[in-house]
């Protein structure tokens, strides 16, 4: 069963808010999953391509928070609940706007 509305890409194109467009763009790319490998990396790259020109910081999803990231994506994919994913990305962007992440050791 597909939970995407038939006009999902039209909604993305028509969205004027860059934060919403970035979250939806990331989610749609991962949901469609067009490649055998690299879909998550490309989705995060596309998300940042939509955020940065709008004045937001390049937002990194730390590997330490991968489970939280995957759970939020699962909520969006399986239960049509994108709110946890949007909140997760917003929290990361807000935190990272205050200062860069510590470098891995």
What token pair was written down for 35?
A: 């490649």
Calculate the dihedral angle through the C-alpha atoms of 34, 40, 44, 50, rounding to the nearest 10 degrees: 20
Alpha-carbon distances of 79 from 12, 16, 46, 70, 71, rounded to whole Å: 19, 25, 23, 13, 11
Cα 33 versus chain centre, distance: 14
Active site residues: 33
């Amino acid at each position: 069963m597909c939970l995407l509305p038939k006009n999902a890409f039209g909604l993305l194109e028509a969205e004027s808010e860059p934060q919403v467009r970035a979250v939806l763009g990331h989610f749609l790319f991962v949901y469609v999953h067009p490649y055998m490998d690299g879909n998550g990396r490309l989705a995060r790259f596309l998300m940042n391509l939509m955020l940065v020109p709008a004045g937001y910081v390049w937002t990194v999803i730390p590997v330490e928070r991968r489970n939280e990231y995957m759970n939020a994506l699962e909520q969006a994919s399986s239960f049509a609940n994108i709110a946890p994913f949007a909140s997760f990305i917003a929290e990361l962007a807000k935190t990272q706007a205050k200062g860069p992440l510590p470098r891995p050791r």
